Amino acid sequence: MTLLVNFTSETMQVRQAVEDFLVCAFDRYPATEVGAAAQYAALGGGHRWRAIVAVAAGRIFRRDALDLVLPAACGVELAHAASLVIDDLPSMDDAQIRRGKPCTHRIFPSWAVDMTPVYLLTMAYQVSLDNPRVSADRRVRAALELSAAGMHMIAGQVKDLKQEHGRGKDDLGLLDCYQLKSGALFAAAIKCGGLLCGASEKQVRLLDLAGQDLGLSFQLLDDLADAIAGASEVGKNRGMDTGKWTAVDWLGVEGVKRKSAELQSAGLTALEEFGSEAQWLRALICEANLRSELETAPNSE
């Protein structure tokens, strides 16, 4: 399903705003080798999908959503950067390239890299909570959503490393793993955008459903990219999932595309209660909008 809506300018505006905000935020901290590693991991790459969907969700309720949501959106991006540093470690995927450049652990000393995820996560909560444009209770709720997503991501990473959903087991376990690893952070980003801009409890639940479906779809397409794309297309080495039980093993190439489309349709259904103000978020959920840029940009994740 494709929505014939072009939100390129809004998307680029969020990406630039995130980069500018993070550059200024890092400048407020003492210059250390750990800080340099954190900046390397967080700046100058990535499509900022999680920040973008956070702002797009907020736009459903407020036209000034970018101003209100930007700190939390940057917090989500910092948390995501922390997870990538961990994923790439020799004890995890032992990756070489991330976002079109050498992984953080291949540039900085191991003692600095060991502290980098803690630095990024601590910074994530600080920038998210330091947002006087939004009431304290909504800031705290958004921070709690991010914290819950982080715990889910850890559980998902454990499942992935242990391959508890592996070959010969219930394939629905793979979706459960991906929901924890990827869906949780996308859902948290979308819920944060809604919460910070005044969404009701019912509206937050609908956003949560849309975010989960988007995250699952994104992870399935990431499996597909790992199997068929090159490093120049996705910004990381191909074949990092070799030896793992992935969506491509389960469904095949065409099956992954069909399942991703089903999830995107489900995400759009969750947004049916909203009017035209949700059109940007709907466009982001559609495969043609999200995937076309992912396949042609050199620094995607």
Domain boundaries, the chain: 8-291
- What b/e sequence results for 168-199 when a residue is b if at least 16 CB atoms lie within 10 Å of its CB, and e otherwise? eeeeeebbbbbbbbbbbbbbbbbbbbbbbbbb
The pLDDT of residue 236 is: 52
Question: Is 187 in contact with 48 (CB distance < 8 Å)?
Answer: no
User: In this predicted structure, which of 109-113, 266-270, 295-299 has the lowest mean pLDDT?
Assistant: 295-299
> Greater confidence, 163 or 80?
80
What pLDDT, in 10s, does the model give residues 119-152?
999 999 999 999 999 999 999 999 999 999 999 9
- Residue 102 bridge partners (DSSP): 97
Question: Is 38 in contact with 120 (CB distance < 8 Å)?
Answer: yes
Closest CA to 148 of 187, 206, 92, 200: 187
- pLDDT band for position 108 (cuts 50, 70, 90): very high
Helix (H) or strand (E) holding 101: strand 101-102
Q: Give the CATH fold of the 8-291 domain.
A: Farnesyl Diphosphate Synthase (1.10.600)
Q: pLDDT > 90: what percent of the chain? A: 70
Closest CA to 183 of 144, 154, 145, 217: 217
Q: pLDDT > 70: what percent of the chain? A: 85
Residue 71 pLDDT more than 60?
A: yes
CA count, 13 A, side-chain hemisphere, 263: 24
- pLDDT band for position 301 (cuts 50, 70, 90): low
For residue 97, how many other CB atoms are within 10 A of its CB?
18
The pLDDT of residue 245 is: 81
The pLDDT of residue 237 is: 52
Task: Write out the two tokens for 69.
Answer: 């949501």
The pLDDT of residue 233 is: 47
What pLDDT, in 10s, does the model give residues 18-68?
999 999 999 999 999 999 999 999 998 888 999 999 999 999 999 999 999
CA count, 13 A, side-chain hemisphere, 203: 18
What is the DSSP track for 33-66? HHHHHHHHHHSS----HHHHHHHHHHHTT-TTHH
Residue 289 pLDDT more than 80?
A: no
- Residue 101 bridge partners (DSSP): 98
What pLDDT, in 10s, does the model give residues 207-236?
999 999 999 999 998 888 888 754 444 445
- Residue 98 bridge partners (DSSP): 101
The contacts of residue 28 (CB under 8 Å, 6+ apart) are: none
